[in-house]
Structure 1
Amino acid sequence: MSQTVDRALSILPLLAQGPADLGQVADRLGVHKSTALRLLRTLHEHGLVYRQQDQRYRLGARLFALAQEAVENLDVREIAHPHLAALNDRTGHTVHLAVHEDGEVLYIDKVESRYPVRMYSRIGKPVALTVAAVAKLLLADLPEPERRALAVKLDYPRYTPRSTPDAAAFLQELATVREQGWATDLGGHEESINCVAAPIRGADGRVVAAMSVSAPNVVVTAEELLALLPQVRRTAEAISHDYSGTTPPKETEVSVDE
């Protein structure tokens, strides 16, 4: 990267902390005021910074518009799919991707198991909100007032003896999911199906989607599926970094007890 571009881009995080005058910008960059002024004028011409009446500079509206446009055009399914396929290739189990839209949690991608026993789920199909692992992750990320309002409105079907029985139990489970950063459905929807899930986060840390690995008991036990949780979490973190455009940290082992 050229020195001029590097210096110009260094101005943006400085102004993100609040308005700054020419001298402050020059001092931070370690350049003469004339150089700082030339950089600021170029950024101003493109709407990326704005000069206030008090002669201080702040971030420009064009920068926010570009950021919003970029977010709106991100396709989490397109970004996630290669990672989902790779996880499916390593484990052989069904991998799902889901989002929260208009009060429903919907599957938006699915990579089928390599085993003869297949799950009855399809892209576009809503999931069972009170038991599905992906739903727990997406709903756990809601602000507490929204979580409580939603919990009292929901019905709690007894799909199996392990289904969530009522609003109080659901809220407690969401609190646990929020704290630990992952979720399970161990026979809550179908007694023979188990699932582990992890969140996909945007640059602001909010959960934008959730991914899961599911398998029937005839293929692997619940304990064997839970042993895959570190892989599931690493995959979700890799998708999160691709989605938010951030550099992933050095790989560390993730344990179920974290």
Structure 2
Amino acid sequence: MSQTVDRALSILPLLARGPAGLEQVARHLDVHKSTALRLLRTLHEHGMVHRQADQRYRLGARLIALAQEAVENIDVRAVAHPYLAELNEACGHTVHLAVRQEDEVLYIDKVESRYPVRMYSRIGRPVAVTVAAVAKVILADLPEAERRALAERLDYPRHTPRSTPGPDAFLKELARVREQGWATDLGGHEETVNCVAAPVRGADGRVAAALSVSAPAAVAGSDELMRLLPLVRRTADAVSAEYSGRPPAS
């Protein structure tokens, strides 16, 4: 490991025990104060540490947020996977689990269709955020001001004639999804692919992830896929119940 990286990482356990001044950090690392200061400034720029008014440093909010996000994402995937497999067994179509990371929504799990025609989605890849059903489910849960700000800074590529044309249409769609509690993508990203999605909620009631069933129109038309919506919602509710420790919704 790089000595610089090693030293920077060694600062974090020290600050986890409480705020520390420059001299204390330098002594902990056994380096000159100028070296310690450079490391602290770099960590501060990335939000990993925060300099207080008394000039001491503590762990930064960004580091805490990343740790929390990582834990939640790993946990929700571990909890959800058996339910995704069960849903896939029941319907035969591709099942996805997705989470938000800043302005993107990423697939974090996938169970492949048993049909010969497969989806080209990949775990770890971002979805087409303005049209994907999982993205709509997740972004619809954001506070109104945050939804509006996000809608204004997104791009709106015309994947198909059914793609979302701009921020006004996107906000209307998110409002509808927020009210009904589920979302669709019926040919918005690929004309021949349809998808239905439902939210997975955490203990605070907020949407932590979204799960979906997707199928090529040649395998399951939009009407057939919509008939699976109750099953998708029951599955999402079951995942939510286990993930949050709350009873399933009626």
Both structures adopt the same fold (TM-score exceeding 0.5): yes
Name the SS for the 1:134 alignment partner.
Answer: helix
Larger-Rg structure: 1
Output one character per residue of 1:209-240: Cα deviation in whole Å (capped at 9) or x when no partner: 00000000110110000000000000000000
Corresponding residue for 2:156? 156
Aligned to 1:193: 193
The superposition leaves residues 129-170 of structure 1 with CA deviations (integer Å, 9 ceiling, x where unpaired) of 100000001111111011101111111100000000011000
| Other-structure match for 2:41 | none
**Which whole-Å CA distance do the structure 2 matches of 1:102 and 1:90 have between them?**
33
Q: How does 1:111-130 map to 2 (within 5 A)?
A: 111-130=111-130
Residue 246 of structure 1 deviates from its aligned partner by: 1.6
Residue 117 of structure 1: how far off its partner (Å): 0.1
Query: Matches of residues 178-257 of structure 1 in structure 2 within 5 Å?
Result: 178-248=178-248
State the TM-score, normalized to the length of structure 2. 0.70
RMSD: 1.6
Shift of 1:72: 4.1
Matches of 2:247 and 2:151, distance apart in 1: 36
Q: What CA distance in whole angstroms lies between the structure 1 residues aligned with 2:247 and 2:147?
A: 31
What runs of 5+ residues in structure 1 fail to find an aligned partner? 1-67, 253-258
* TM-score (norm: length of structure 1): 0.68
Matches within 5 A, 1:86-101: 86-101=86-101
Can you give the 5+ residue segments of structure 2 that lack an aligned partner in the other structure? 1-66
- Whole-angstrom distance in 2 between the partners of 1:149 and 1:222: 31
Per the alignment, residue 84 of structure 2 pairs with 84
Name the SS for the 2:80 alignment partner. helix
Deviation at 1:103, TM superposition (A): 1.9
Q: Partner letter of residue 169 of structure 2?
A: A
Q: Percent identity?
A: 71
Q: Deviations over 1:159-195 (max 9, x none)?
A: 0000000110000000000000000000000000000
Once the two structures are superposed, residues 47-104 of structure 1 have per-residue CA deviations (whole angstroms, 9 ceiling, x without a partner) of xxxxxxxxxxxxxxxxxxxxx98x9466100000000000000000000000001221
Find the aligned partners of 2:246 and 2:115 in 1 and give their Cα distance.
Answer: 35
